[in-house]
Structure 1
Amino acid sequence: MSTPPFDPNRPQDRPPQYPVVPGQQPQQPGQYGGPPSPYPGQPGYPNQPAYPNQPGGYGPAQQGYNPYGGGGGYGYNYSLPGQLASWGSRVLASIVDSIVPIIVIVVGVITALAISGDSDELSNAGGAAMVIGYLASIVFQIWNRVVRQGRTGQSLGKKVVGLKVVAPETGALIGFGRNFGREVCAFIFNQFCFLNVLWPLWDDKHQTWHDKVASDIVIKL
């Protein structure tokens, strides 16, 4: 059976027609003879730029723009939720944290003297009251500086003053374990060298030695 010759007047021999949208150029068949692209601007279609710089599209990168550059200041790759805490605000937060333990110890001492009735020699009950006061003070400091601060980034003193301990890499909380190591180092450094407390005065990140060991920063919210 022979193939009939091409006849442009026959409907089956005519090329496919595509609708013309008013105000636009007639569309041409797509790549490999396919229909025109329903998504103009995609690569592979004639007379269309790849990813035109339009709102919502993927425009060419602007000169000088670094999508991976940091914009948070202080050399961090994110925006800090606050400024680095000043030395004075950190001292104030430490004073507030010390008030409750001191009150607990004073209450224990007063109770011990009231039970014993003699300041020169404490009774067994008076001695027990004083020991309980000291233990309660230690328990409070562990809860406040280790547990609470590890979970929320704020001791009670930092909460009152508006400070927070965060990781410099992400701005997130440093976690319980890292905060525990931080407080152990703070206790050791403060016992042997008072310079640890003064270090934020000239440090570029306002860090103490225990901040540097734990790799954290303290910010003002």
Structure 2
Amino acid sequence: MSFGDPNNPYGQQPPQGQPGHPQQAPQGVPPQYGYPQQPPQGAAPQYGYPQQTPPPPYGAYPQPGLHAPGMPGSGMPPLAHWGLRVGSYLLDVLIIAGPMYAVLGIGAAVSGDETGDTIAGIFSLLGMLYAIGMAFFQLYKEGTTGQSFGKKIVGTSVHREVDGATIGFGMAFVRKLAHILDGIPCYIGYLWPLWDEKKQTFSDKVCGTVVVKVNKAG
């Protein structure tokens, strides 16, 4: 019996379309059975484990606008009380004004003749340049990190109320100008954090900022 014998079942080729032997789909036509095809590149998968949402970065509110710092469930540091705010302000003023007046005092001490007056003028200019430069540097640090030197020493930090982000140099400058509002009505704006729920001054409310307690400088 040969392999070409029609009576030989081992030599026969199964006819196309016979049950049990599915035909291959023509090129370009998706199969109707078997394993599911992989989704096209860039398309979101339709099966498998669900994608995990990454956690919010440290310092951001879980739900912006719903939880203020220091409130239950906010996960944020507590609000800074009035005493800490006063302490940081006085330290910032001391860091700016202390060296400036020291240099001005040296200039005044050497004045009295033409040479001394020239030296005094140079010292006065240096003192003013230091005060202006340090004031702007303090604003830069406060806007980019949340902390001026005084805030870093006492352990406070200023952030946006809506999302806990730092306020940036521009808003730090505007916030400093807005302190004028705190001083207009008999300086009551500076005392407002004593009874305000969010411990904000008038400038904080205008600029949308809050001051929170953080770890002190090591």
The CA deviation at 1:35 is 7.7
Distance (whole Å) between structure 2 residues aligned to residue 95 and residue 189 of structure 1: 19
- Is there any run of 5+ residues in structure 1 with no aligned partner, and where? 1-11, 15-32, 38-55, 58-66
Indicate the SS of the match to 2:164.
Answer: coil
Distance (whole Å) between structure 2 residues aligned to residue 73 and residue 116 of structure 1: 53
The CA deviation at 1:157 is 0.5
Match of 2:109 among 103, 109, 114: 114
Indicate the SS of the match to 1:212.
Answer: helix
- Is there any run of 5+ residues in structure 2 with no aligned partner, and where? 1-17, 21-31, 37-48, 51-61
1:164 maps to 2:160:
no
1:155 corresponding residue in structure 2: 148
Match of 1:127 among 99, 105, 121: 121
> Measured at CA, do residues 91 and 117 of structure 1 come closer, stay the same or move farther in structure 2, by a change above 3 Å?
same
Q: What are the Cα deviations for residues 6-58 of structure 1, in whole angstroms up to 9, with x where unaligned?
A: xxxxxx879xxxxxxxxxxxxxxxxxx97899xxxxxxxxxxxxxxxxxx88x
Amino acid in structure 2 at the alignment position of 1:134: M
Distance (whole Å) between structure 1 residues aligned to residue 98 and residue 152 of structure 2: 19
The CA deviation at 1:206 is 0.4
Identity of aligned residues (%): 33
The CA deviation at 1:143 is 1.3
1:141 corresponding residue in structure 2: 135
CA RMSD of aligned residues (A): 3.9
The CA deviation at 1:68 is 6.8
Q: What are the Cα deviations for residues 78-123 of structure 1, in whole angstroms up to 9, with x where unaligned?
A: 421x1101100111111111112222222222211222148xxx82
2:25 corresponding residue in structure 1: none
TM-score, reference length from structure 2: 0.62
1:87 corresponding residue in structure 2: 82
1:179 maps to 2:160:
no
> Measured at CA, do residues 113 and 165 of structure 1 come closer, stay the same or move farther in structure 2, by a change above 3 Å?
same
Indicate the SS of the match to 2:199.
Answer: coil
1:9-88 → structure 2 map (5 Å cutoff): 78-80=74-76, 82-88=77-83
1:148·1:155 contact (CA, 8 Å) conserved in 2? yes
1:215 corresponding residue in structure 2: 208
Indicate the SS of the match to 2:212.
Answer: strand
Match of 1:96 among 77, 91, 98: 91
